[in-house]
DNA sequence: GAAATAGTGTCTATTAGACAGTATTCT
DNA sequence: AGAATACTGTCTAATAGACACTATTTC
């Protein structure tokens, strides 16, 4: 993992703390939203921040493990997680979790230098999240409120959210990530609402239907139908084995409709 | 950057070392190659490894800065670096540098836990690299030799190389990354050789020409022509302002031709 | 029957891939 | 002239986007 090579160089380096921070995304009331926690201690006490915590060298098996642990401890989303390394069929209904990137800048914390490894998590709308272990108050906030500066976050967490949202937007095109936003069984309309919420623009129902059913291995029919609401019941699908979409679901070009910040 | 929130939690965490490792790619003799250094000290003494070193909390401005510093110190590629955040015109001839991801696993190093942040760098073929500061021996190795286990690397560096190559392969499609492999002025044939080397398969000259010249802002004609070799001199281009390719240069599907490991 | 939602079909302009010919330079 | 490389053009099958209709359920 490291590359020290000068004999005298080893062992004497300024210590860092290594943390993981989670950008947990879901769709609530049609809006792409991120899970935030209220900080109970300095620095940035009282501000909203991403859930996360320090990597435990003694007990964490790797960074992915630490992220999964924090996800479990700070949120109630301890569903089986499907990492990109997991098997092709493991994704149905599981929380998607993948590393975003690392962040560090000196002097961030007066007591210690802390490098943070950010993770992107995607989960179906869980209703109201029950506040877990040391998370005093967790809440879902629409990402537009965060990115438009209507909500102030601690540290560089606004940038991290922006990076996570951008990653999600890109991966909707070429991967089956959208299936992580919906329950194990879902309709094509629900899947389309995911794309519309994440991309921030409406999609044509008919072309969308053609594309997602045409993408090899993306959807698997259950034969059953959804019995909710009025209108003709929609067919229920499960996520298929494909991790990449071929052909991809292309994003319409042009800027998304601008939301005026309140 | 971090997210500690329990009052008693701050300040008492097992120390980490934070390193940056570089996956420096270029094309030599038509083969996508990675820059490696021979380790002069344990662990893995004598093995090949990625260039890199520890982040210096006192002097490095951020992780990108640390990566740039290591690139300068351990290789002779201290050209002006163009990070993804740099201006649209800054890319011509500069070394491309972007973060790949972070790696950590406990017990990697007997003396200290070290988290590594890997970077992908792309540069034009520099001829023979002059060994810089503390790098005893640097050499270019075809990535096929690394990925096929013909060459053994220290730590998890083989996996990091694999991740870096995969990133490069993907970014050739939708971004102007290919221009970072060639000198500031280049011909379309040279650019095509980049795509062929990275993707490991031949491309049709005519369709390639149509695509790259059709991608808005990718290439800017210099009006001049290359006077090298025989045959009709090719037009010289510079890199244009576009960072993303629209439409993208799509990669032909199907597996690349398999190189039998020697 | 009316309303609401699901699902299928068609038309057309564009594009991607396969392929052949012309142009310009050096020897 | 011949070889080598650069460049331009054509044909066709597949695709994407725009758009309209039929099907099935609830009220």
At B67-121, the pLDDT tens digits run 999 998 888 765 666 666 555 444 445 799 999 999 999 987 777 899 999 999 9
Residue B253: its chain A contacts at CB < 8 A?
Answer: 246
For residue A138, which of A39, A27, A64 has the smallest C-alpha distance?
Answer: A39
pLDDT tens track for A34-59: 999 999 888 899 999 999 999 999 89
Instruction: Tell me the whole-structure pTM to 2 decimals.
Output: 0.91
Do residues B193 and B183 lie in contact, with contact meaning Cβ atoms separated by under 8 Å? Answer: no
Instruction: Please indicate whether, in this complex, the C-beta atoms of A15 and B10 are within 8 angstroms of each other.
Output: no
Residue B3: its chain A contacts at CB < 8 A?
Answer: 19, 21, 37, 39, 49-53, 116, 154-155
Instruction: Please indicate whether, in this complex, the C-beta atoms of B106 and A61 are within 8 angstroms of each other.
Output: yes
The nt closest to B252 (CA vs C1′) is C17
Q: Which of A37, A58, A104 sits opposite B62 (nearest CB)?
A: A104
Q: How far is B226 from chain A (nearest CA, A)?
A: 36
Instruction: Please indicate whether, in this complex, the C-beta atoms of B4 and A53 are within 8 angstroms of each other.
Output: yes
Residue of chain A whose alpha carbon sits nearest to that of B155: A1
Place of tokens 């993707």: B199
Give percent above pLDDT 70 in chain B: 82
Q: How far is B202 from chain A (nearest CA, A)?
A: 21
Do residues A220 and A240 lie in contact, with contact meaning Cβ atoms separated by under 8 Å? Answer: yes
For residue B146, which of B169, B129, B135, B162 has the smallest C-alpha distance?
Answer: B162
The nt closest to B230 (CA vs C1′) is C26
Instruction: Please indicate whether, in this complex, the C-beta atoms of A99 and B102 are within 8 angstroms of each other.
Output: yes
Q: According to the model, what pLDDT value does residue A131 have?
A: 53
Do residues A249 and A172 lie in contact, with contact meaning Cβ atoms separated by under 8 Å? Answer: yes
Q: According to the model, what pLDDT value does residue B162 have?
A: 98
* Residue B221 to residue B150: CA distance in whole angstroms: 41
Residue B191 — pLDDT band, cuts 50, 70, 90? Answer: very high
Q: Which of B41, B57, B58 sits opposite A4 (nearest CB)?
A: B41
């Amino acid at each position: 993992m490291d590359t020290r090579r000068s004999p005298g160089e080893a062992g004497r380096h300024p210590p860092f703390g290594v943390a993981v921070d989670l950008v947990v995304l879901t769709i609530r009331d049609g809006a792409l939203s991120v899970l935030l926690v209220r900080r109970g201690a300095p620095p940035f006490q009282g501000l909203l921040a991403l859930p996360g915590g320090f990597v435990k060298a003694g007990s964490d098996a790797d960074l992915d493990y630490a992220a999964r642990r924090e996800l479990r401890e700070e949120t109630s989303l301890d569903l089986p997680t499907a990492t990109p390394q997991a098997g092709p069929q493991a994704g149905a209904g599981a929380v998607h979790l993948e590393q975003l990137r690392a962040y560090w800048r000196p002097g961030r914390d007066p007591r210690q230098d802390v490098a943070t490894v950010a993770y992107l998590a995607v989960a179906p709308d869980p209703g109201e999240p029950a506040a877990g272990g040391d998370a005093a108050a967790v809440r879902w906030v629409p990402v537009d409120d965060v990115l438009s500066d209507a909500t102030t976050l601690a540290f560089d967490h606004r940038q991290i959210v922006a990076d996570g949202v951008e990653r999600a937007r890109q991966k909707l095109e070429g991967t089956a990530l959208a299936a992580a936003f919906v329950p194990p069984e879902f309709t094509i309309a629900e899947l389309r609402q995911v794309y519309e919420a994440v991309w921030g623009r409406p999609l044509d129902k008919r072309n969308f239907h053609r594309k997602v059913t045409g993408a090899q291995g993306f959807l698997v029919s259950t034969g059953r139908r959804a019995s909710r609401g009025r209108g003709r019941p929609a067919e229920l699908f499960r996520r298929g084995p494909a991790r990449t979409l071929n052909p991809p679901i292309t994003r319409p070009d042009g800027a998304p409709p601008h939301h005026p910040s309140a």
